[in-house]
Amino acid sequence: MKKKLPEKKEVREKIGKWMSTVEELHSTEVSEPLFAGNSFALVMEMDITMKGKGRSKMAELCVYTVKDGKIVAEQFFV
């Protein structure tokens, strides 16, 4: 199910909340986007140390829907 994107203030708060759980971000990689109709997808990989949980590597498929030139929905698959 696609989720409606929050407003810019909510996005900043969401990122800030997530970053507060990060001890150290060692590296990130983002793939080239794949486009289909009004959507695009990319793979984001991170080498990260979370507070109290240790270091790990994560990969996530990020799918975005675009309308009128703006991202209107997002989905993340781990």
| Contacts of 31 by beta carbon, 8 Å cutoff, 6+ apart | 42, 43, 44
Q: How far is CA 36 from CA 13, 41, 52, in A?
A: 30, 9, 39
* Cα–Cα dist 78/73, whole Å: 17
Per-residue pLDDT of the chain (78 residues; tens, 9 = 90+): 566 655 678 778 888 898 899 999 999 999 999 999 999 999 999 999 999 999 999 999 999 999 998 888 899 999
What CA–CA distance (Å, rounded) separates 42 from 63?
Answer: 7
The structure tokens listed for 73 are: 């929905």
**Which pLDDT score, from 0 to 100, does residue 48 have?**
95
* Whole-model pTM over 0.95: no
The structural domain count of the chain equals 1
* Residues 63, 44 contacting (CB under 8 angstroms): no
Query: Which domain CATH number covers 16?
Result: 3.10.450.50
Tell me which residue range forms the domain holding 18: 3-77
